[in-house]
Amino acid sequence: MNKLFNNYIGFAALIFVLVFSCKQEQNLPDPYQAGWNGEKVCEVLEDNDYLRVLKCTFPAGVGHEKHYHEPHFGYALVGGTFKLEEATGTREVSFPTGYSWSKDEVSEHQVLNVGDSASVFLIIEYK
């Protein structure tokens, strides 16, 4: 009985290590791959061993299909108002020009520019 218990504990520990040590594979596109109605909204400004810099432009009425972000820093070159859909729900958010944020974990969302003018963002992803 004790040997069976030890085998069970060993097996449970192995499963725990495999589940929590492996990087989860994403089924969604990253922000560069994602677009809106088949059109790209982001362009790569820099891509090196340490980071990737994207410039994403959203004219009024244009969004970004559901995608994921690795940990990143974002900066609003030209702010705007967006409908943001994420795991916690849907809300409207306004980003003033010069607004910045950072995320330390992988995140997923979809956005739509509901304002009346174009918005432009820099996204700096850490590698």
Question: pLDDT (tens digit, 0 to 9) for every residue of the chain, 127 residues total?
Answer: 555 444 444 444 434 333 334 444 569 999 999 999 999 999 999 999 999 999 999 999 999 999 999 999 999 999 999 999 999 999 999 999 999 999 999 999 999 999 999 999 999 999 8
How many CB atoms neighbour CB 52 within 10 A?
Answer: 19
How buried is 113 (Cβ within 10 angstroms: 0-12 exposed, 13-18 middle, 19+ buried)?
buried
Compute how many other C-beta atoms are within 10 angstroms of the C-beta atom of residue 111. 24
CA atoms within 13 A on the CB side of 70: 14
Query: How many Å apart are CA 121 and CA 76, to the nearest integer?
Result: 5
Q: What is the pLDDT of residues 3-35, one digit of tens each?
A: 544 444 444 443 433 333 444 456 999 999 999
Q: Can you tell me the distance from the alpha carbon of 82 to that of 15, in angstroms, rounded to the nearest whole number? A: 41
CA 69 to chain CA centroid, Å, is: 2
Which segments of the chain does DSSP mark as H helices, in order? Answer: 2-21
Helix (H) / strand (E) containing 36: strand 35-36
